[in-house]
Structure 1
Amino acid sequence: MAVTLHEAFVPSCQQILTAMQGLVDKAQQHVEEHGLADAELIEARLCDTMWDLPWHVRSVWVHSAYAISLLPTGEFSPDFTEQPRSWDAMRAQLETAQDALAAVTVDQLEEVAELTVGFVIGGKRLMEFKAQDFLLSFSQPNFYFHATTFYDILRMKGVEIGKRDYLGVPRIKTA
């Protein structure tokens, strides 16, 4: 049985986005329980040359719902203009991504799967993809990178989370 582009991309993004919502809750709980300022975690980075938590939340939106929304235009240019600088703003960004993904249909993705999509930064078209290859070989790896880095920052800062918190609820076989 063939897998649709929708099946290969959307449900896995939804799974991790839901897990990230739980991670945001645990991060906020951690700062409250330990008497820390929110900035202690929100502004944390794995190293000085990497981005902080809000950037990674914005990035999972960029490489999931936003990327899909731009496929029909033939150009993808990441949008990092507004970063969610609070716990509630992070939750809202993740919910926005979830809502947009829930609205995507199998037919919508199949209709654009073969379109050419250019990756554009600073007005320069750096790479071209078929839309399905853009999602599966560019956006999806970026999505997981940023979700994982978000998780890693929280672990580094002492938030009590584990692999199950990152994975969320897998799509298991039911009777």
Structure 2
Amino acid sequence: MTITLHAISAPVFTARLKSLVHLLKIGEAEASARGLSEDEVLGARLAPDMFELKRQVQIATDHAKGAMARLGGLDIPSFPDTEQTFADLYARIDKTLAFVASVPAAAVDGREEAMVTLKLRQETMELRAIDYLQGYAFPNFYFHVTTAYDILRHLGMPLGKRDFLWRE
């Protein structure tokens, strides 16, 4: 069996984005049961200098769609960061899942050595696609998905490791 770039990227983003929906749905239901507003939950953060829950979700989706586009040599779809509700976040995740699913394996596979250019705030990085995926895209994606989980746990939501690893 050959392991391909698409096989190690798209299914990972898909599975964790679906688990993120699962986490958010638990948080939404529990918040409603406790009388917490969406603003309280989606605006929660772990520390004053960290992004709030809704921004964690936005950034996680940005890394998933950005990675798949960069790996496939495609344009990155632009999603404005306007989500204010759980429903808005679910729609954003759905759009991201649709984009990830739309990137054909043929566009990604064999591009492990292709150069990926990242234009960051204060620098530009050039990385081989495989190094970009393993050393930048995945760590950033997992950081923001995990931080979303952690914010919900910090709020006392009934989540555990199984929820983070949840698969439909």
Instruction: State how far apart, in whole Å, the 2-side matches of 1:111 and 1:59 are.
Output: 27
Change (3 A) 1:125 1:81: farther
* 1:88-114, Cα deviation, whole Å (9 max, x unpaired): 111011111111111122211125432
User: In structure 1, what is the equivalent of residue 144 of structure 2?
Assistant: 146
Deviates more, 1:142-151 or 1:54-63: 54-63
Amino acid at match of 1:120: K
User: In structure 1, what is the equivalent of residue 48 of structure 2?
Assistant: 48
**Secondary structure, in 3 states, of the residue corresponding to 2:6?**
helix
Count of residue pairs the alignment pairs up: 167
In structure 1, runs of 5+ residues without a counterpart are 171-175
Q: Is residue 99 of structure 2 the alignment partner of residue 104 of structure 1?
A: no
Alignment of structure 1 residues 4-153 onto 2, 5 Å:
4-71=4-71, 72=73, 81-122=80-121, 125-153=123-151
- CA positional deviation for 1:81: 4.7
TM-score by length of 1: 0.86
Amino acid at match of 2:107: Q
Work out whether residues 24 and 87 of structure 1, in 8 Å CA contact, stay in contact via their aligned partners in 2: yes
Instruction: State how far apart, in whole Å, the 1-side matches of 2:48 and 2:117 are.
Output: 30
User: In structure 2, what is the equivalent of residue 168 of structure 1?
Assistant: 166
Instruction: State how far apart, in whole Å, the 1-side matches of 2:2 and 2:131 are.
Output: 16
TM-score by length of 2: 0.89
Change (3 A) 1:133 1:45: same
**Secondary structure, in 3 states, of the residue corresponding to 1:23?**
helix
- CA positional deviation for 1:46: 0.7
Work out whether residues 14 and 98 of structure 1, in 8 Å CA contact, stay in contact via their aligned partners in 2: yes
**Secondary structure, in 3 states, of the residue corresponding to 2:159?**
coil
* 1:110-166, Cα deviation, whole Å (9 max, x unpaired): 2543221121124x5431101222122100111111100000000000111111111
Instruction: State how far apart, in whole Å, the 1-side matches of 2:101 and 2:118 are.
Output: 25
Work out whether residues 57 and 84 of structure 1, in 8 Å CA contact, stay in contact via their aligned partners in 2: no
Work out whether residues 58 and 83 of structure 1, in 8 Å CA contact, stay in contact via their aligned partners in 2: no
Amino acid at match of 1:95: D
Work out whether residues 9 and 136 of structure 1, in 8 Å CA contact, stay in contact via their aligned partners in 2: no
